[in-house]
Structure 1
């Protein structure tokens, strides 16, 4: 009990510190912003509220039309069991919100969520005894409680939902499967093992990007060509601003993966003036 309270307190402190770091990040270098622009950016960047809510996707439109509570999809509850490629490649969920076009008619026929939520792998959505409240939530109190219990004992991080997922993956705290049918091993191209070094125009260090770390949970088609088009000068608009607004790296690192105010995860040798 004592360790749990201490851990929760540390998470709250880390969240408060990360917001301060975010203000420095957005206001340093690059194009100037007025107050309304800065407010819009701050509103889009996690963490906004409790760690338990980071990575949750709330779907309201169709649920409201049906007179039901919104659907809340917790990424953390799924990524502990499956890598990103399972849903975003095998089950054809789009990487960007709104791209998939999922409907109740589709998942009750065994598509999308219905592949696993069939009453055997996970709770069912097709039968008369369907547990609607497990997805359609008036509030997330029970879900938040489940998250706190799950997070206890996992490697901690200062940002996102307070879990260092990469460390948990490496030390075996979580063992997500790479396929819904049978475990598969995909060879990683030798020429991509060396991290990419990308220069920056702002007063921070160069960016270090590892294909190998991303390939552990993703597939090449997850990023190429929809998010990153592999053409010369196709990333001419690649800036911190465009990332913050959900483009390029921001497609994941604003919503599910560690948020972009965790600066040193990418800017390994960041100038001490921008350190935490």
Structure 2
């Protein structure tokens, strides 16, 4: 019975963004012209089936080889390893296409091949064909695996429907933070207090937790390439630049909860849509 209730709850959460948009358009507020609405709809990330959010589909090289596209599910790996393992220790770029991964590289034990060696995870180097585990004609089986996996995890209304920060805090997941035995720095005491970022509207100030991000990432994941480390030195930091994949949007439009989950950051924002 509990499982059925959770599925119903997830269905309702999945529908929430569309309902909010309908309410906004039908309310008595200032009307948007069609060009403005088109821009909004284009920038809001898809919030359809939770199982799809965060999956990276790689088609180009697979198509050239006459194979089905590679589908990389972040959720599978995120439950086992923190983001820093792949994006720092294994040198995967934070943006699609930055890494230049090839089959020749991972069969030599680089990138995916560090873990997919037949011992830690299914192998890619041997003659035992496991191609279908990554090259997928469709994702029905993967989607069902996600549904089974997400049962019992903290709910969220956006992204893939999982509150990963809450899952990490309550021990629902216990991802490994290093596979190379690297020494990780302790979290700086002076950064434990959430950082308050002012906005044009005082009631929508942003609360940023270094601690929650440090639990998954490393300082070098954001500084200085995404954010200049000096106070007030990051220029052009606006909601628009974030939505188009810069700054926070580098992660929060693709894998982490998308930026239409406004109250996750703007905690003082009232319940009315867009205010």
Whether the TM-score (by the shorter chain) exceeds 0.5 is yes
Instruction: Please give the secondary structure, in 2, of the residue aligned with 1:273.
Output: coil
Q: How many aligned residue pairs are there? A: 270
Question: Is 1:155 equivalent to 2:177 in the alignment?
Answer: no
Q: Which runs of 5+ in 1 are unaligned?
A: 27-31
- Equivalent residue number for residue 264 of structure 1: 263
Separation in structure 2 between the aligned mates of residue 95 and residue 244 of structure 1, nearest angstrom: 16
1:162-181 correspondence to structure 2 within 5 Å:
162-181=161-180
Q: What is the CA deviation profile of residues 32-64 of structure 1, one whole-angstrom value per residue up to 9, with x for unaligned ones?
A: 986456435434433432000111011111111
- Equivalent residue number for residue 86 of structure 2: 87
- Equivalent residue number for residue 29 of structure 1: none
Higher mean Cα deviation, 194-203 or 171-180?
194-203
Asked if structure 2 preserves the Cα contact closer than 8 Å seen for 1:177 and 1:183, the reply is no
1:182-261 correspondence to structure 2 within 5 Å:
182=181, 184-202=183-201, 204-231=203-230, 234-261=233-260
Question: Is 1:8 equivalent to 2:7 in the alignment?
Answer: yes
- Equivalent residue number for residue 140 of structure 2: 141
Separation in structure 2 between the aligned mates of residue 25 and residue 93 of structure 1, nearest angstrom: 39
Instruction: Please give the secondary structure, in 2, of the residue aligned with 1:274.
Output: coil
- Equivalent residue number for residue 74 of structure 1: 73
User: Scaled by the length of structure 1, what TM-score is found?
Assistant: 0.89
Q: What is the CA deviation profile of residues 3-24 of structure 1, one whole-angstrom value per residue up to 9, with x for unaligned ones?
A: 3333222212112112344688
Deviation for aligned residue 1:227: 1.1
Q: Which runs of 5+ in 2 are unaligned?
A: 26-30
Deviation for aligned residue 1:231: 4.3
Deviation for aligned residue 1:113: 0.4
Asked if structure 1 preserves the Cα contact closer than 8 Å seen for 2:177 and 2:216, the reply is yes
Asked if structure 2 preserves the Cα contact closer than 8 Å seen for 1:157 and 1:163, the reply is yes
Separation in structure 1 between the aligned mates of residue 68 and residue 35 of structure 2, nearest angstrom: 31
Asked if structure 2 preserves the Cα contact closer than 8 Å seen for 1:178 and 1:184, the reply is no
Separation in structure 2 between the aligned mates of residue 59 and residue 48 of structure 1, nearest angstrom: 20
Separation in structure 2 between the aligned mates of residue 20 and residue 119 of structure 1, nearest angstrom: 46
